[in-house]
Amino acid sequence: MNKSNELEKSKGVVLFAFNSDTVDYVKIADTASKLIRNYLKLPITLITDNAATPKFEYDRVIKVDVKDGNYRLDKQNNLIKWRNFDRYSVYDLSPYDETLLLDTDYLVMDNSLLRLFEQPFDYRLQYRMQTPTGISEEEMGPASLPLIWATVVLFRKTPKSRLFFNLVKRIQQNYGYYKVLYNMRDQSYRNDHAFSIANIILNGYSIDKHTSIPWPMLTVKDDIKSLSIKNNLLVIRTHEQAIVTIQQDLHIMDKEYLQTDECKNFVKELCNE
């Protein structure tokens, strides 16, 4: 890498948000972006569809046509639309040389992600996930390979990264084949799976942990009752338990909570608004 060019390289965060019948992803993106701006102080680009009306002042909003056709089961086992296709297009759509691609349900609460930009890499993925009870090592199926999370992805515009996203595209387009080949549990298309497979193929059909973000991602799968910060400690209350941990980024599966005023107020308080 040419060090003299490093100063000139642009860095930024990209979020994808396509509203579904049940989840206002753009609203969630607006909330998450406040935290991103507060802790990372990086420009933010939102990729969304033409119908979206974001409230947050993004540095750039890119409107695209989004494909439908993917579904998943919600908590009540209802089949709902899931507009998660074409995540691979971030390589071409991102206006930055170095891009941090985040899911909207990832709440940034410290600046640790900035440290990743100092590392040598083409791309970095989130290999390990940590729940409040410990490290969770998930596989794509009962006799499959390790699952990598596409929740946090860092990439530079390099030939290897281009290859990576091209592979993700190919996997999405031929998902029926890859689903069987890799013994996947889920029937719906998941970016986590496509990114996991592309990473294995690109690393010589090997599990290569050199592309991993070095720390696990704290994730809460249960429904959230409340979030609060006290003395630099993050308190997560679910309906079953209360978890106290050091203040850090948090991946929240409960999309309903992320759309509440309570979540919005929590974020406002953190950002001293």
Partner 1 sequence: MNKQGQGFLTFAQNTAQVDYLKLAYAQACNFRSLHKNLKYAVVIDKQTKSSVTKSCHEVFDYIIELPYDETAADSQWKLANEYQAFACTPFKETIKVESDLLLTRSIEHWLTAFRFKDVVLSTGCKNYRQQLSNNRTYRQFFDDNDLPDVYNGLMYFRYSTFAQKFFATAKQILDAWDYLKIHVLRNCRETTPSTDVLYAVTAKTLGVELCTLPSFDFINFVHMKPAIQGWSSAGDWQEMTTVEHDEDMIRIHNLNQYDPIHYYEKSFLTDERLTHYEQRYHRSRSA
Residues that bind partner 1 in the complex, under the rule CB under 8 A: 143, 145, 181-182, 197, 200, 204-207
**Tokens encoding 178:** 């890859």
**Taking the complex as a whole, how short is the minimal distance between the CB of residue 133 and partner 1, in angstroms?**
22
240: phi then psi, degrees, rounded to nearest 5: -105, -30
Nearest-approach distance from CB 4 to partner 1, in angstroms: 37
| Nearer CB in complex with partner 1: 197/250 | 197
Residue type, 136: S
Dist CA 192 CA 24 (whole Å): 21
CB of residue 64 to partner 1, shortest distance in Å: 32
DSSP-based three-state secondary structure for 192: helix
Is 36 strand, coil or helix? helix
Q: Distance (Å, rounded) from C-alpha 68 to C-alpha 71?
A: 9
Nearer to partner 1, 145 or 235 (CB): 145
β-bridge pairing 60-63 and 44-48: parallel
**Among residues 111 and 206, whose Cβ is nearest to partner 1?**
206
**Smallest gap, in angstroms, from Cβ of residue 118 to partner 1?**
30
Residue 142: count of CB within 10 angstroms of its CB? 8
Q: Count CB neighbours of 227 within 10 A.
A: 22
**For partner 1, the closer CB: 207 or 229:** 207
Question: CB of residue 201 vs partner 1: minimum separation in angstroms?
Answer: 8
**Closer CB to partner 1, residue 134 or residue 142?**
142
